[in-house]
Amino acid sequence: MVLSGHHASLEEPRSGPYRAAIDEGERSADVAGAAGAAVRPFHCPAHNDASGSEPADGKLAPRYWGAPQPPHPRPFRRVLLQRHAALPGSGGRTVPVRPAADAAVPRGHPRPARARARTSPVPAGARLATAGAGNPSVLPRCLRRRRTRIVLVGCSGQGVVDVAAQGCEEYLALRPGVYLAAGKGDLRLYGPSFRPQGASFGAPDATKRALLERLAGGRVPRGGPADRGTAGGGCGDDVSHFLDALESDGWLTRTVCRNGRDLYTVRPLGARSGTVGAPSGDLVLSRFTVLRREGDQILVESPLARAQVLVHHEGITSLIARLARPATGDPGAAAAAGELPPDVGSHLLEDLSAAGLVVPAAAEEGPDTVLWSAHDLWFHARSRTGNGGYAGTGFGRTGWGKKWCEPLPARREAFPGPPVELHRPDLEALRRSDVPLTAAVEDRRSVRSHDDGSPVTVEQLGEFLHRCARARHPHAKQQADRPYPAGGGAYELELYLVVRKAAGLDQGMYHYDAHEHRLRAVCGPGPRTTRLLRAAAASAAVPAPPQVLIVVAARFGRLMWTYEGLPYSLVLKHVGALYQTMYLVATSMGLAACALGAGDPAAFAEATGLARTVEGSVGEFMIGSRPTG
């Protein structure tokens, strides 16, 4: 029998099991039948191992070829090789297919090798059966283009089954923000946010340009004209290869539709690496996967995922929610227990699995992931360059805040409390007499207890703050300069002193004005300052609160106006730089210093009256007199 182009020319096999053939109107494929189970295609690399890489001579591995059979003078392919499971080649060529079992071979012809495809009898006219465990009745995406006809051929006749339910439509589009540059012999695409260095796609020609214009101007149906060539001409294989290269390299989004309504869009987060097999076993939503609002739609994403899924249909959200519990048996049918048909659930589950948004139930119990909390992994992933750009957002020093507001000034508004002038040390004298840097680094220790009999003095606090955190150019309106480094000269950190015991300074909370080198009272002693001091003692695991607690706060807008994607990670880096500066200065001054890992941001917000999203505590540092002995 011969399958060609847009129809199936079928003959009864003379003996052996029945064979089913799929005719999609564009590409035909040989499939195996299984009585009472599913019709399973086995021709694509992602869904069966009988399709490996095609050798350079254009032939499949010998074990997948039969011997010549009359009236055909050439060997028969037992499987149809495709370059990628989700992107079949162009239609129009004849694909010879032999019967499932060896037929009688005339004398003089070698006996064909046995096919590796699994086959078993199927009654003529049988319909697609409900899946059994481990054998889902799901056509892989490479066959789910449009209305599919399955023809079952056997000794007792043939039956025809039209499968419209398997026809989720898919549309490809160029991701936003991509632009084209074509030289004499090189066509390059650039994505400012995710691929600023660009990528080359060979020599420019009219066919590639026409396809890119279609992809940029609107959605191109997969399996439509883009797979067969463009109106301007061109080889279908060349177009298919170009489209496959664009998708493999992460330049295209894919929208899945049904009956003219968009269901969801898959947005890649990088170039595709390797082949992801069909989902199998118990699958569950990854514990790192989150659903959040983007505009008026739901976005599904994970820091470990290879793609995001933007949900357009409320039924898809319901299907995803059901995956909080493992989907067993037929995962597609289990996921599709709601308002959408089972094939939609199967399609969705396959996409979620390929993206890494659903995983095998035990996949995240190993030591490489079990120690990660979801928020830690999210913070780590989003504060590093890479996938954030693929998500369509900027990264780095983009100045994106200018769309909404003016930048915050370098100097925050002063608190209304009375000022406390601070001592200014002689820096030139310190250059000559101070402890050497190596000695300060080597002698640095975290000292958690203080000598209340001889507490730290206000003069010492003045020298300490002047050497650690003063504004070197106090009249600068935007760019600042302080003794510790900070990205972009933003210097968003502010210091608040919670004083329990310091000679020459009353108890209470004070803000350090780095531009004027003075303290201003924020509030007196009370329950809120007591909470801050007790939280510090608990964090340091000591019985007594510190003499002075320095709460490090951040004016988030100073960084967030300028930096996109990583401002909070910069805040924490700046806190670390400030901590080390404080440690070295305290060591050279003979003071007891200890950085803390946690504090009470709610108590800080109550004491200062500041909104947590405007200026919040990000670090704590204890300072006091060093105990003798």
What 3 state SS string does 313-375 have? CHHHHHHHHHCCCCECCCHHHHHCCCCCCHHHHHHHHHHHHHHCCEEECCCCCCCCCCCCCHH
pLDDT of residue 275: 60
**With bands split at pLDDT 50, 70 and 90, how would you rate the model's confidence at 206?**
confident
Mean pLDDT of 323-331: 69
Please answer whether residues 79 and 64 qualify as being in contact, where contact means their C-beta atoms are separated by less than 8 angstroms.
Answer: yes
CA-wise closest residue to 121 among 161, 153, 77: 153
Looking at CATH, the fold of the domain delimited by 419-625 is given as NADH Oxidase (3.40.109)
Q: Check whether 407 has a pLDDT greater than 70.
A: yes
User: Tens of pLDDT along 423-451?
Assistant: 999 999 999 999 999 999 999 999 999 99
CA-wise closest residue to 122 among 92, 82, 154: 154
331 CB contacts (<8 Å, ≥6 apart)?
A: 136, 279, 280, 283, 345, 346, 349
Please answer whether residues 418 and 600 qualify as being in contact, where contact means their C-beta atoms are separated by less than 8 angstroms.
Answer: no
**With bands split at pLDDT 50, 70 and 90, how would you rate the model's confidence at 394?**
confident
Q: Check whether 115 has a pLDDT greater than 60.
A: no
Per-domain residue ranges of the chain: 1-158, 170-360, 419-625
- How does DSSP assign 124-171, residue by residue? TTPPPPPPBTTB-----GGG-SS-EEEEEEETTEEEEEEE-TT--EEE
pLDDT of residue 201: 83
pLDDT of residue 14: 30
Q: Considering only 151-155, 217-221, 288-292, which range has the smallest mean pLDDT?
A: 151-155
Mean pLDDT of 275-280: 61
Using alpha carbons, list the distances in angstroms from residue 524 to 505, 531, 608.
Answer: 12, 13, 11
Higher-confidence residue of 87 and 328: namely 328
Q: Check whether 623 has a pLDDT greater than 50.
A: yes
Q: Considering only 152-156, 248-252, 507-511, 564-568, which range has the smallest mean pLDDT?
A: 152-156
Tell me which CATH code domain 170-360 carries: 3.90.930.70
Higher-confidence residue of 416 and 41: namely 416
